[in-house]
Structure 1
Amino acid sequence: HGRGEAFDYLIGERTIEPALEATRAAAAALLLAKRPVISVNGNTAALAGEYVVKLAEAVNAKIEVNLFYRTRGREEAIASLLRSLGAKEVLGVGERASATIPELMSERRRVDPEGILTADVVLVPLEDGDRTEALRRMGKTVIAIDLNPLSRTARSASITIVDNVTRAMPNLLEQVASMKEKDRGFLEELLRRYRNESVLKSVLSYIAKRLMEIDEVELGKP
């Protein structure tokens, strides 16, 4: 969390253009998906639960609880919060998480057979690198929200939105709403042209430029 806050400061605590480009691609991927799933941990539920529920409704996605430290109490608490915000169904709670992601050792390997296991597109805000890589190996399109453009999650996801989850989720919902009427060809072309590596490089260039500017301002002070 501390590292994320540091990176948020480096991008000026706002949504920068490369993040918007990734958000547009993410919206297209979710709208084209046959079985989209939003993976939710405690932080995501607390920081952006309302938008998780709204986005799931907008793209007809399932919501699945997935935790690194799994206890029935924590799962139920998150599911209960999401339901209080309007979620009709929350997967991945208790016995429902009966399937496993191959090659993962942590509790995050446990997934719902009706959710992440069979999803074609998975949105993973605030995710760890191991699971992002494992989901990619399973052939899934993985959309990550991660403030650190150098993290394994950011580098291994199909689409990485380098932004604070509290800005990224409302932005994603907005992009979905504006693209909902676009035809399939438009969305497919947008995705075809998207290059995650180049977006991450743009983020790093932005940070480097901003650091130089901050440095000049600070050094110029009497």
Structure 2
Amino acid sequence: MNSRIADIDVDVRDRSKHHPPMMTLLVLAAAAGSAGPPTTPPLCVPVASDNLRPTTSDIEEHKKLRQALNEPMPEERQMVMLHGKGGHLSTEEYSIIVARSPDGQWRGTAVGRRRIAVEGAPFTPVQRAEWVLDDASGKRLNDAISRTCPFDRAAGNDRMPEPPPRGYISEKMDVVSAGRQNYSFYVGEGGEAVAALIRPPR
């Protein structure tokens, strides 16, 4: 009998090693419940924090493209622009601009052109788009361009450079505000979230 009691006692102690007491489980559950969802960092304009050459503006590229397509350049005091150019079997170029009108609304226009990779082939305009950002998107854009955040362009560039993938399109953004500093940065350098706010709706 004493041998059976001893065996039961050993079995209980062995189980306790693998199964925490109920009180421990309750404490862990309470802690997990109070942790809350992870917070998303606020949107911002990425500003280079490294000593590399400053990113140049593409405003003149917007002007040249829009002039070729007979599309006027917005003249509002506050604008966010995206210029894209690249391709593989065809070359594509486009200009996306959202401008803040006096009533506070952000109004966008997008134009572009493409041509096949054949010498002498003409450009073909792509369909023009015009839209107004909804209130939620407009507020997010206002919030995003109201702050800057450091971006180290040198990070991760210590490996051997590789050619861009086929069909790669380089995209650059300009944030223009009259009376304030303007900013230029590549979409791939921390500008993806801001770029998503100004792309034309599908």
**Between Structure 1 and Structure 2, whose CA radius of gyration is higher?**
2
Q: Which has the higher helix share?
A: 1
TM-score tier by shorter-chain length is under 0.3
TM-score of the superposition, structure 1-length normalised?
Answer: 0.23
Q: Which has the higher strand share?
A: 2
TM-score of the superposition, structure 2-length normalised?
Answer: 0.24
